[in-house]
Amino acid sequence: MFFKRNVPTIMDYDKTKSELLSLGWLSEIYNVESNESIYDITDLGYQYYFAICMKAGRDQMFTGPRLADGQTTAYIHDYIDLAEEGYLVHSIDCEKLTPKAAEYLYVLTDLHGKEITIKEHDAKTSKSSAVSKIAKYSSRFMRGLQKVSDAAQKYDKASTTSTRNVWGEDKKSSSRKRISSFKRKYRSKKRRSKTKKKRKSYTKTNVDPKNLGGFDFKGIGDKMME
């Protein structure tokens, strides 16, 4: 078997896989029977595979399907030119595979039917990246809360000081007004009291003797003196 057990040099397996997916030789499908996602060779991939096998004079490449006995031709699109695309090199007796063709066919047949898995390294990296992002945004959020808290505290202090000043001034002013008003009232009351006493001391009663019960006491006194 040609390259049945021998593995060609693969420079980058994952890169080659990505190229095969991009070229349309390989696809990702979901297998209902096995309940898993797997890689599958496409119709275009089979065309290239069989065309290269026949041109290279091989009935099978690596772990790929075998050509039927006596099969010499296969359906292939007219635009496919294996030599121009870099998969075959013309020689005297037959077509020779290029390293690129060997690498493509090996990875193509090796992946066919295999389950699609995510590398543990990639999963760890993804988790680490997610945790890093969460920590980053959490840190930003906490810093934002701290700034808001600081601003609120400053505002509260300023507001409290201002309120105290205002109330203090109002209280002092009100207290002074009450004291001043009390003093004025007290002084006014004291003055009124003094005025009343003076009035009582110096008030004269003008009484007309003639109006006291109709008797003229002065005239009676004069008569008694005579």
List pLDDT tens digits, range 17-30: 999 999 999 999 99
Report whether 105 contacts 61 (CB < 8 A).
yes
Half-sphere exposure of 10 (CA within 13 A, CB side): 15
Higher pLDDT, 47 or 155: 47
Output the pLDDT for position 199.
Answer: 56
Q: Is 48 in contact with 65 (CB distance < 8 Å)?
A: no
d(CA 187, CA 162): 37
CA dist., res. 152 & res. 165, Å (int): 20
Of the listed ranges 47-61, 86-100, 153-167, the least confidently predicted one is: 153-167
Distance in angstroms (rounded) separating the CA atoms of residues 78 and 51:
12
> Torsion angle, CA of 194/196/200/202, rounded to 10 degrees?
60
User: 49-92 pLDDT, tens per residue?
Assistant: 999 998 888 889 999 999 887 777 777 888 889 999 999 998 88
* Phi, psi (rounded to 5 degrees) for 85: -80, -5
Report how far Cα 144 is from the mean position of its chain's Cα atoms.
Answer: 11
At 175 the pLDDT is: 58
CA–CA distance, 50 with 202 (Å, rounded to integer): 149
Q: For the whole prediction, is pTM greater than 0.75?
A: no
Question: Residue 176 has what pLDDT?
Answer: 60
Q: Which residues pair with 40 in a beta bridge?
A: 27
Confidence of residue 118 (pLDDT cuts 50, 70, 90): confident
Neighbouring residues of 3: CB distance < 8 A, sequence distance ≥ 6: 61, 62, 102, 106
